[in-house]
Amino acid sequence: MIAQFLTLKAEAPDCLLFFRMGDFYELFFEDAVAAAATLDIALTKRGEHDGVPIPMCGVPVHAADNYLARLIKGGHRVAIAEQVEDPAVARARPGKSIVARAITRVVTPGTLTEAGLLEPKRANWLAAIAPGPQTGLAWCDLSTGAFATRACTPDEATAELARLAPAELIAPEGWKDSPATPRPLPEFSAQKGEARLKSRFAVVTLDGFGAFTPSEIAAAGALLAYVEATAKGSIPLLSPPRPELPGSTMAIDAATRTSLELTRGPGGTRAGSLEACIDRTVTAAGARQLGADLAAPLTDAPQIAARLDLVAWFCENAVTRIRTREALAAMPDIARALGRLAVGRWTPRDLAQMRDGLALSLALKAALSAPSLTTPTLLTDTLARFGAHGSLVEALRRALVPEPPHDPGAGGSIAPGYDAALDALRETARDGRTAVLGLETRLREQTGVAALKIRHNGVLGYHIEVAARFADPLMAADSGLIHRQTLAGVVRFGSVDLAALASTIAQAGDHALAAEAAHLEELRSLILAEAAAIAETAQALARLDVASALADLAATENWSRPKVDATTAFHIESGRHPVVEAAVKAARNPFVANDCDLSADARLWLVTGPNMAGKSTFLRQNALIAVLAQAGSFVPARAAHIGVVDRLFSRVGAADDLAQGRSTFMVEMVETAAILSGATSCSLVILDEVGRGTSTYDGLAIAWAVLEAVHDDLQCRCLFATHYHELVQLKERLKSLATAHVTAREWKGDLVFLHEVKPGAADKSYGLAVARLAGVPAPVLTRARGVLARLEANRDKTGGLAAGLSDLPLFGAHPAEPATDPLRAKLAAIDPDAITPREALDLLADLKALMGEEQA
């Protein structure tokens, strides 16, 4: 057995080997050590190899999916070795022999199809990259069959991979740009890729699928080769590859995606992201489609308008929207059920899901096709994608019981009356079991043992069981019983009659299971014959779910339809940040809405104001509104007019990348450089605190130069937030620059943030006030006030910033600020409505005395 294990292990040296032994998958040697550590299960030892005990651990087959999920998340790949012959055949061979085994599948993060191993609301992309001056990308989701390609530059490829966030990326051996599964370089040949694609999709040319570049074909061919290698002959369902045209979606680089938290929140999960905040879809497929829409907003104004028309239609037809969402909520995930059926990892419940999902889709199509409804173009096109699955649904209804069992080998999936021969076999099995009960009664009468039982187990089959104290008379040769087994408390027997009945029951049961298996396979074949049409139906259902969900969001949260066209307009009235608004609403606080108008005469805003006043929120909310609008959603604003944004850039927040040897300032400069080299006049750029990571003069100089470059060279729409108030001087020299500030007020010694964006520059940054709110100790704040006063007094003098600080007393010599202000404390304790005139005079005298003490 160990020799067989080692032979199979050599076929998949980079994988943990799940070695099937009966009802368990066993792991040995280093595989067992690694798996036991990841799964936190017992590591045992059994036998020896080269004189050393063999480490061993195992997991039950029925619970394998749970353990596989944990191993995959732990960064492992798993090869599954199944028994590929009947144990009886192995036993029939002469000499000692073991059951033949073979690797039937390699499980990797990108090749998962089982529901228990996948996130329902996330696509599970497997991607391939063919590097070069013109880089080719290909990606597929084996759980749904989606397959797409794109040709791009290396920088664009990085942004596309950030959009896809693939579960697994394959690349040629030696490619070191990012973590990837290495594959042999010949697999990335465009010539071999073309031949592989033609063979897979049974075509003589790929022209019918679109215009592909050689790099796209190379990546797609390598992807398909990897799928075939891991599937081990069980090829998943894949739609023909669909090339994505450059410029068809808004370009968003990785830094911007992270900054805006489009699909992943602060912790790297879906929670806290824009996607999670606005997701009101009622199906897993709809949630996946929503995530794809947000990750790749459209740039074609007519296509955007078509999506908005459909959302608007659902907004206007509230009853239809509610009924549509109710119908969709009952839909199973037929896209992933189809994927499991195609790859052979299915159960009878997947057939039932297909039956129920397609039946519901037919009813929904009929309801939305009512002639009294005026339908938008996208709804008409979406309904046209629904397949005519009536005959398939009827066949599945006739064949299947309402709730089939999960285990196909358990029987009971095929409905009574579907197959008369199967019904007869089942009846024979039932009659045989009735006959067993009759035989049990007769044997009790013949033997006089009232406690005699006929039982069944997997080793002996049917047998007669009596307590040991009644067994002696039954051992006699003339008892008619055959001794089978003696245990501590019971003795087991057989008989000729019982053996005949057992044979009849077993044969009927086996034949019934075989007949059911054949019928289930026929039903699977019927479904796969309509696989392409079913996939189209699933995509159409997802689109309806997204549109009705966005309409529900707009109707309940007071979102408005944006106007999106091919201009460079950007006019937002009373815009709001959707994620922040949801958070403050949960705390029962109002969100302060603000306008933003980056028109031709003011396409660049210089935004000033204190920290924590809301500058970053204001910048981000306008970027998110652009994303939502071009994704086809209504937006959190009173009104919005947005010219199509071809590229979105966000330089907000401070973070280092120590793994790449980049400081916080270096990361800031890299991202700024990407903006200056990549933005166009149709782009939207938000920049926050450029230059803050270096010296004051260096930072101011960089911010000044960047602001001028955005205005003069890029000429794009931009929000530029800063604490360098010197930049306000540029308003007189840059004709398209406007100044705005986020308001704050000092009231009774406290800083109050008003969160309102108004024209003009802020008078100061209130940094010390924010520091006090953060809990900076009073002596440090007192010292800072002294330094700030001296710096401001010497601002216009020569000698530099430090010139006015040469005679400033040292920190230790500076008097500490009192922990409490007696005068303020006395004033705060006065209740004007509760004192007499005499008490007021006494208080006034006390206050004058306190003032005198402070002055002294």
Binding residues for ATP: 609-616
Structure tokens at 152: 């791009």
Alpha-carbon separation of residue 272 from 278, 291, 577, 631 (angstroms):
10, 14, 13, 19
Is 139 within 8 Å of 81 (Cβ atoms)? no
| Cα distance between residue 426 and residue 420, in whole Å | 10
CA-angle at 722, arms to 719 and 727, nearest 5°: 95
Pair of tokens at residue 782: 């007192």
Q: What is residue 712's DSSP assignment?
A: I
Supply φ then ψ for residue 55, to 5 degrees: -65, 145
Burial of 718 (0-12, 13-18, 19+ CB in 10 A): buried
Tokens of 182: 């290495």
Q: What does residue 203 show for φ and ψ, rounded to 5 degrees?
A: -130, 160
- Beta bridge partners, 560, equal 635
Q: How many residues in total does the chain contain? A: 856
- Give me 491's structure tokens: 């003795």
Query: Are the C-beta atoms of residues 154 and 112 closer than 8 Å to each other?
Result: no
Strands 101-107 and 78-83: antiparallel
Residues 6+ apart with CB under 8 A from 540: 361, 382, 383, 385, 386
Give the whole-angstrom CA distance, residue 379 versus residue 543: 9
Give the single-character DSSP code of 673: H
**129 has which bridge partners?**
137
Distance of CA 50 to the CA centre of its chain: 46
Place of tokens 């063999």: 54
Sign of CA dihedral 252, 253, 256, 261: positive
- 656 neighbors 662 (Cβ within 8 angstroms): yes
Residues 6+ away with beta carbon under 8 Å from 625: 562, 572, 575, 635, 636, 637, 640, 642
Phi, psi dihedrals of residue 359, rounded to the nearest 5°: -65, -45
Name the phi and psi angles at 831, rounded to 5.
-115, 100
What CA–CA distance (Å, rounded) separates 160 from 163? Answer: 5
Inter-residue contact 688 to 649 (CB < 8 Å): no
List residues bridging with 482 in a β-sheet. Answer: 494
Q: Which residues contact 739 (CB under 8 A, 6 or more apart)?
A: 605, 606, 607, 608, 728, 731, 759, 760, 761
Q: Are 505 and 497 in contact (CB under 8 A)?
A: no
Which residues does the annotation place in the binding site?
609-616
Q: Which residues pair with 466 in a beta bridge?
A: 491
Distance CA 349, CA 353 (A): 6
Q: How large is the greatest C-alpha to C-alpha distance in the chain, in angstroms?
A: 125
- List, edge to edge, every strand of the sheet that includes 242-243: 181-183, 168-172, 126-130, 135-141, 146-152, 242-243
CB-CB contact of 244 with 149 (8 Å) = yes
584 phi and psi angles, rounded to 5 deg? -75, -30
**Closest CA relative to residue 120, chosen from 339, 310, 274:** 339
CB of 596 closer than 8 Å to CB of 572: yes
Beta strands in 73-125 (DSSP E): 78-83, 101-107
CA distance 543 to 310: 10
